[in-house]
């Protein structure tokens, strides 16, 4: 085996792409800071029982495990940062009011996620803790849309759903995790014949509502009107539809956004507790980002409080971004000359890129385009166009 080969679905990020990733990371985190989000950096390794606590337990199959040689305990290499941020909010910060946190860090998956080509991602996200109102969900969506706009992705398709709909439909039913997973799969595939047969064990009112979910998708106004007619009366359902109505009204002002609702799209239903959303862009079959409300996320850490937010893979975002981050640079001779060094220092202080080369050599760099050069004119060095 060649020593330079990497594991399957693990890849290097080369100069030009790495610069784009880093440029986007800085710009997006600055955007989040302008909204009052505080940056946190959880460790990439944790004790496995802590890493998989609560909602994190669903990540068990995706988590790399290893033994800590100091303690003898099993460690996990994180596959998702969100549970770690919930731990920080619940256990370390322990604030009473609204807390806004953001993060950007590597995650690794033991198995390649569906729709992805890599087992390593650079997860970037923002979370709001301590606010149960729909306005927090709207802020999370707004921040996600601004993130995609910052990356130069002008056409965005946002799909909304709500975990409270299914909660209301199944309110009087006691279902185990396997049954919920089966139901989720049937709803996701919109397989009406199999769903109809599968739901015969439920009361007719519940079965009819489950079948109705498969057809409640499309333009927001139409879906909301139809949902109010065909879904059963229940406080959780009424609240869910009201939340979606508020958000649709608020989000619709965004130019370049195509908004829709799919009440059968319940990916992550057992994780989410309220509004759920997925953002799609041209050139990518799966969502570029997902988010929503998950009010029970901190419960396993001893402090359950409202939470909402979103996350995305920055490497995927950079690969789709049309932004050109190639920087113009100045070429300079690599010679010992005090006056030259002084000029180069001044240029670099002003933010210019100055690359020194030996006589007869040229610059091979995907990140830079040398459009100028330092030339000696009499006793001084001047920047001239090449």
**Residue 367, annotated as binding a ligand:** no
Please state, in angstroms and rounded to a whole number, the distance separating the CA atoms of residues 377 and 375: 6
**Residue 282, annotated as binding a ligand:** no
Please state, in angstroms and rounded to a whole number, the distance separating the CA atoms of residues 100 and 94: 13
**Residue 111, annotated as binding a ligand:** no
**Residue 200, annotated as binding a ligand:** no
Reference 39, options 106, 88, 95, 97; nearest CA is 88
Please state, in angstroms and rounded to a whole number, the distance separating the CA atoms of residues 82 and 55: 10
Is there a contact between 9 and 118 (Cβ–Cβ < 8 Å)?
yes
State the DSSP string of 127-145.
Answer: EEES--SHHHHHHHHHHHH
**Beta strand segments in 223-315, E:** 257-262, 275-281, 289-293, 307-313
**Residue 127, annotated as binding a ligand:** yes
**Residue 81, annotated as binding a ligand:** yes
Is there a contact between 157 and 49 (Cβ–Cβ < 8 Å)?
no
Tokens of 318: 């950079």
Tell me the backbone φ, ψ of residue 232, rounded to 5 degrees: -65, 155
Please state, in angstroms and rounded to a whole number, the distance separating the CA atoms of residues 103 and 232: 40
- Binding site, by residue number, is 80-82, 123, 127, 267
- Binding site for L-histidine, by residue number, is 80-82, 123, 127, 267
């Amino acid at each position: 085996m060649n020593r330079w080969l990497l594991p399957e679905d693990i890849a290097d990020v080369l100069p030009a792409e790495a610069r784009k990733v880093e440029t986007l990371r800085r710009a997006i985190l600055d955007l989040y800071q302008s909204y009052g989000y505080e940056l946190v950096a959880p460790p990439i390794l944790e004790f496995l029982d802590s890493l998989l606590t609560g909602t994190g337990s669903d990540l068990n199959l995706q988590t790399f495990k290893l033994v800590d040689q100091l303690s003898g305990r099993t460690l996990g290499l994180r596959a998702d940062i969100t549970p770690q941020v919930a731990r920080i909010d619940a256990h370390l910060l322990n604030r009473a009011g609204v807390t806004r946190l953001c993060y950007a860090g590597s995650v690794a998956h033991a198995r390649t996620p569906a729709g992805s080509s890599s087992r390593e991602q650079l997860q970037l996200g923002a979370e709001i803790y301590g606010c149960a109102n729909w306005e927090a969900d709207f802020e999370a969506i707004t921040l996600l849309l601004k993130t995609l706009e910052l990356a130069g992705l002008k056409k965005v398709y946002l799909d909304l759903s709500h975990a409270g709909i299914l909660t209301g439909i199944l309110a009087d039913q006691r279902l185990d995790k396997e049954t919920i997973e089966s139901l989720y799969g049937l709803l996701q595939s919109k397989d009406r014949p199999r769903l109809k047969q599968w739901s015969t064990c439920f009361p007719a009112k519940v079965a009819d509502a489950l079948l109705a979910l498969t057809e409640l998708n499309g333009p927001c106004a139409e879906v909301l009107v139809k949902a109010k007619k065909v879904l059963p009366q229940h406080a959780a359902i009424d609240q869910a539809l009201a939340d979606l109505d508020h958000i649709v009204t608020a989000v619709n002002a965004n130019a370049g956004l195509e908004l829709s609702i799919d009440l059968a799209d319940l990916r992550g239903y057992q994780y989410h507790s309220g509004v759920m959303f997925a953002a799609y862009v041209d050139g990518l079959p799966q969502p570029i980002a997902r988010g929503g409300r998950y009010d029970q996320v901190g419960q396993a850490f001893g402090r359950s409080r409202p939470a909402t937010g979103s996350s995305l893979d920055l490497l995927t975002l950079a690969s789709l971004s049309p932004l050109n981050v190639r920087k113009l640079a100045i070429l300079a001779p690599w010679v010992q000359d005090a006056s030259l060094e002084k000029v180069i220092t001044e240029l670099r202080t002003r933010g210019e890129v100055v690359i020194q080369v030996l006589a007869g050599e040229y610059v091979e760099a995907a990140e830079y385009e040398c459009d100028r050069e330092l030339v000696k004119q009499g006793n001084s060095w001047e920047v001239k166009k090449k």
